[in-house]
Structures are given as C-alpha cells and as structure tokens.
C-alpha cells in the first residue's frame, strides 16, 4: 500500500533550522517528483518546492529560495525538506505530496503524507 510517512512534530525557536523527512513505501521512488506544501493557520495551501528524487534536481518557490533545501536518499526512499532561519511565520503543517502527470503533462498532487506540525516560538 502506497504511503508517505513523515517525521514527527517539531518545536523550534526563531532563527533555528528544521529538517522534515518523508519516507515512501510501495511505489517506484524515482518515478515521481515529490512536492512540499505547507498550510499555516488561517491560510491556504502554499507550494514550497519540488524535487526529482532520482536526479536530485529541485525547484523552489521564490518565497523560500535561500532558506529551503530539498534532498533525497534513494537507498531508503526518503525525501527531506530543510528550512533555515525560522520565524513565527513558518509555524504551519508541512506536507510532502507525490506528483502525478495530468492531461496537460503538468502535475497534480495525488498522494500526501500525514503532515508535520512545525511550531516556531520563543
């Protein structure tokens, strides 16, 4: 059964960094891009970036460039999202999501991890 299993909740102080993992099961890890999306309280879904797990090529949303790094480890079919210089605005639930090609050869997000709550507070 296909699953995306994320690491547990984190509490960080402003200025700190966080690394969230997303371990995948029961599909060909290299076959799909993995996206990271967050949802902050009172806000909608916000795309952060994607990674090609096979090549390691990434693309980040402009808002996060310079602060986010996405990596993959094919040996354990896991992707990671690092976010540095945290502020209270980064308090949110972070999701990994498996991309799937749509009819226009772009992507939708077919399967989602359970989410990781990040709280940034002094």
Partner 1 sequence: SYVLTQTPSVSVAPGETATITCGGINIGRKSVHWYQQRPGQAPLLVVYDDRVRPSSIPERFFGSNSGNTATLTISGVEAGDEADYSCQVWDTDFDHPLFGGGTHLTVL
Considering only CA atoms, give the Rg of the chain.
14
The yes or no reply on residue 59 touching partner 1 (CB under 8 A) is yes
The yes or no reply on residue 97 touching partner 1 (CB under 8 A) is yes
Which residues have C-beta within 8 Å of that of residue 44, sequence separation ≥ 6?
none
- Interface region with partner 1, contact rule CB under 8 A, candidates 10-18, 20-28, 58-66, 76-84: 58-66
The yes or no reply on residue 38 touching partner 1 (CB under 8 A) is no
Which residues have C-beta within 8 Å of that of residue 6, sequence separation ≥ 6?
20, 21, 22, 23, 94, 95, 96, 113, 114, 115, 116
Closest separation between CB of residue 100 and partner 1, Å?
A: 8
Size of the site for partner 1 (CB under 8 A): 28
The yes or no reply on residue 61 touching partner 1 (CB under 8 A) is yes
| 3-state secondary structure (DSSP) of residue 76 | helix
| 3-state secondary structure (DSSP) of residue 40 | coil
Is 104 or 122 the residue whose CB approaches partner 1 more closely? 104
> How many alpha carbons lie under 13 Å from residue 110 in its C-beta half-sphere?
13
Closest separation between CB of residue 46 and partner 1, Å?
A: 7
Residues in touch with partner 1 (CB under 8 A): 35, 37, 39, 44-47, 49-50, 59, 61-62, 95, 97, 100, 102-104, 106-115
């Amino acid at each position: 059964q296909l699953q995306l299993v994320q690491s547990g909740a984190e509490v960080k102080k402003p200025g700190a960094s966080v690394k969230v993992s997303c371990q995948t099961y029961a599909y060909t890890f290299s076959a799909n891009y993995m996206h990271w999306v967050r949802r902050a309280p009172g806000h909608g879904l916000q795309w952060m970036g994607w990674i090609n797990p096979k090549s390691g090529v990434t693309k980040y949303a402009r808002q996060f460039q310079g602060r986010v790094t996405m990596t993959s480890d094919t040996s354990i079919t896991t992707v990671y999202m690092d976010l540095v210089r945290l502020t209270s605005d980064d308090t949110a639930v972070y999701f990994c999501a498996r991309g799937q090609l749509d009819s226009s050869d772009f992507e939708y997000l077919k399967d989602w991890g359970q989410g990781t709550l990040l709280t940034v507070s002094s």
